[in-house]
Amino acid sequence: MTQNQDDKYRCEECGATFDSQVEWEQHNRKVHSRYTCENCQEHFDKEDEFEAHNFKMHPELQKYPR
């Protein structure tokens, strides 16, 4: 395995590379319909999973109606 010296973001699904994390996230969302947690960089295939993760791991981000 060769080490990529470029500090690029690589899509694990199709191998496409991106200069910025934003582009990488947009690609994931657009092409692979994925959701990425901006807080811990985990990604999720379904919106349900992503929301459940946010709810569980980052409760401070949730807005609870009182």
**Binding range to Zn ion, per CB under 5 A, among 7-15, 18-26, 44-52:** 7-15
CB of 12 to Zn ion, least distance (A): 8
18 binds Zn ion (CB under 5 A): no
11: CB partners within 8 A, 6+ apart: 17, 18, 24, 27, 28, 31, 32
Using CB under 5 A, which residues numbered 34 to 53 contact Zn ion? 37, 39-40
Q: Which of 1, 2, 14, 30 binds Zn ion (CB under 5 A)?
A: 14
